Amino acid sequence: MNASLSRFNIVSIVLGFAFLYLPIVLLIIFSFNESRLVTVWGGFSTKWYVAMFQNQGLMDAAWVTARVAFISATVATVLGTMAALALTRYTRFRGRILFSGMVFAPLVMPEVITGLSLLLLFVSMGLDRGFLTVTLAHITFTMCFVAVVVQSRLITFDRSLEEAAMDLGATPVKTFFQVTLPVILPAIISGWMLAFTLSLDDLVIASFTSGPGATTLPMKIYSQVRLGVTPEINAVCTLLIAVVTVGVIAAAVVNKRREVQRQRDEQAAQRG
């Protein structure tokens, strides 16, 4: 294979990245715009960041979102892990295929339908729309993502580890908490992070299931944009991007380090 980049490759890379990141770069640049008009550059300023922190509505929405995301991701991780365990371990129970289909259906279900059906359910149950309903809705739709992530780890899990633990005198419960759980923990954590980010940026389902006093950040941003994009919104989005980027980079660096360390250890072990 030719290692050097051909002109064609360079062009396609530049085009690809531009397509992906130009909008985001524009958004970041205009968040530092002095001018009130979003599309006209009026000089550098950080005043919109100050304004953002003084905007009580935005801050409230951010707090709601953080709480919804944290609670729903945590509950969804517990439920999703249990579903993944049931699906990989008890391969012959009645209705397994139906159950696995039902667990994964929300992955491909249009969000509008999920949102609408949840709304109908909450209304018929007489639940007032608010913090509780949006959290429940987010648990419902993020659980299947956790189940998929954890299940793919469990498929490669060596069952003889659990047998060894039981053979050495650990009861099934102790085996789960001392052996199974620590081994699959990385997958559970990534499942949690996936659920957290999905909940964080969900607009459609939240719009259906949330109510007064429980406006999430995406809903707030969307409603403000309808009144006209302000540089304040750009600032919020820039901060969100910064948080996500730092998180992704940190995770990648940690992973890479661990991988390198592991390879080094293994080479050392092979040498004796």
Partner 1 sequence: MQSLGSIRRDFSPWNDPAAKPYIVFDQVTKKFGDFTAVNNLSLSIYEREFFALLGASGCGKSTLLRMLAGFEEPTSGRILLDGQDLRGIPPYRRPVNMMFQSYALFPHMTVEANIAFGLKQEGMESSKIADRVAEMLRLVKLEQFAKRKPHQLSGGQRQRVALARSVAKRPKVLLLDEPLGALDKKLREETQFELMDLQQKLGLTFVVVTHDQEEAMTMADRIAILDKGEVMQVATPAEIYEAPGSRFVANFVGNVNMFEGMVTARDASGVSINSESGIAIRTENAGDAQSGAKVAYAVRPEKIKVSSRPPMDTANNAAEGEIYDIAYLGDMTVYYVRLANGLVVKAASLNSARLTDDPLTWNDRAWISFKPDSGVVLTR
Q: How far is the CB of 269 from partner 1 (least distance, A)?
A: 5
Q: How far is the CB of 262 from partner 1 (least distance, A)?
A: 6
Q: How would you class 170 by CB atoms within 10 Å of its CB: exposed for 0-12, middle for 13-18, buried for 19 or more?
A: middle
| DSSP 8-state secondary structure symbol assigned to residue 126 | T
Please compute, for residue 141, the number of CA atoms within 13 A of its CA located in the half-sphere on the CB side: 31
Q: Between residues 180 and 230, which has the closer beta carbon with respect to partner 1? A: 180
Give the H or E element holding residue 141: helix 131-155
Query: What is the C-alpha to C-alpha distance for residues 237 and 144, in angstroms, rounded to an integer?
Result: 27
Q: Which residues bind partner 1 (CB under 8 A)?
A: 158, 160-161, 163-171, 174, 178-179, 182-183, 262, 265-266, 268-270, 272
Q: Between residues 179 and 206, which has the closer beta carbon with respect to partner 1? A: 179
Q: Between residues 61 and 165, which has the closer beta carbon with respect to partner 1? A: 165
Q: Give me the phi and psi of 221, to 5 degrees please.
A: -60, -45
Q: How far is the CB of 172 from partner 1 (least distance, A)?
A: 8
Token pair of 46 as six digits: 């950080």
Q: How far is the CB of 167 from partner 1 (least distance, A)?
A: 5
Q: Between residues 168 and 227, which has the closer beta carbon with respect to partner 1? A: 168
